[in-house]
Copies of this chain bind each other. A is one copy, B any other.
Amino acid sequence: MPRNKPLILITNDDGVYAPGIRALIETIKPLGDILVIAPDKPQSGMGHAITINSTLRIKKIHEETGYAEYSCSGTPVDCVKIAVNKLLPRKPDLCLSGINHGSNSSINVIYSGTMSAAVEGCIESIPSIGFSLCDISVEADFGASKKIAYSVAKRILEHGLPADVCLNVNIPNIEYEKLNGIKICRQAKASWEEELDERKDPSGQSYFWLTGVFKNYDHGADTDEWALANQYVSIVPVHIDFTAHHTIPYLKNIDIKL
């Protein structure tokens, strides 16, 4: 891959054959040389999991000039680590993850394999962006998302990102013409109210499905949830220093002793 074109890493968490990553590849291809490595099966909800107690398999699926594609038995974060360590000729200019089938706004950033791949890219000092469409359907319409992913990726290739920051881009599930624009937001304060759906297996033993209801407690007009509800694309800058700096004086003051 020649040095004069941008080198772009693409991954996701829905698996290498998901329509969302196919849409992302198609729209990003004109921007540079592309390396795709994505999980060989759906890995939604994997968060920042890495494979350390088991082995990994990598399979080359396709190669042509300026484009290569691999599947991997691991998690989205594994994919980024493998790309950086083994597959890429140099540090890429951009790491893109998605387009996810389903929202990763607000607190979902923490559960999301899509965003964890972008966060891992950020840890590796690569400008990184996760894209998610607010439609979990496998038949989701990625028409608007493709245009947005192209615009955002192009702009970040030109301008870069602040150190230790990646972007969480969420796209409302509406037609492109109905979008009101793009808003830079903060993460809304929200959580999931879990429900355990209890069932019986054929031998009468209980098993459970984890489900839940998303609860947004934060209706600030500067939040991602507000933007999405008002037909804006939301972009939240996400950082990798998790320290709650503002609480350090309080904690020093309560004087926890050995």
Contact = CB atoms under 8 A, between A and B. Distances in A.
A229 interface: no
A45 B51 contact: yes
A185 B247 CA distance: 10
Consensus secondary structure, chain A interface: mixed
Interface residues of A, number: 85
Given A84-B194, A237-B247, A45 B56 contact: no
A165 B210 CA distance: 25
A121 to B, nearest CB: 11
B237 A244 contact: yes
Given A57-B207, A196-B82, A208-B56, A187 B243 contact: yes
A116 B236 contact: no
A134 interface: no
A1 interface: no
A137 interface: no
Contact of A241 (B78, B119, B187): B187
Given A186-B241, A245-B186, A77 B191 contact: no
Contacts of A48: 47-49, 110-111, 116
Interface string A125-166: 000000000000000000000011001100110010010110
- Among A52, A208, A209, find the residue whose CB has the most chain B CB atoms closer than 10 A: A208
A6 interface: no
15 contacts: A47-B50, A47-B116, A48-B111, A48-B116, A50-B111, A56-B196, A85-B194, A85-B195, A110-B242, A155-B254, A156-B256, A187-B241, A236-B242, A238-B242, A239-B242
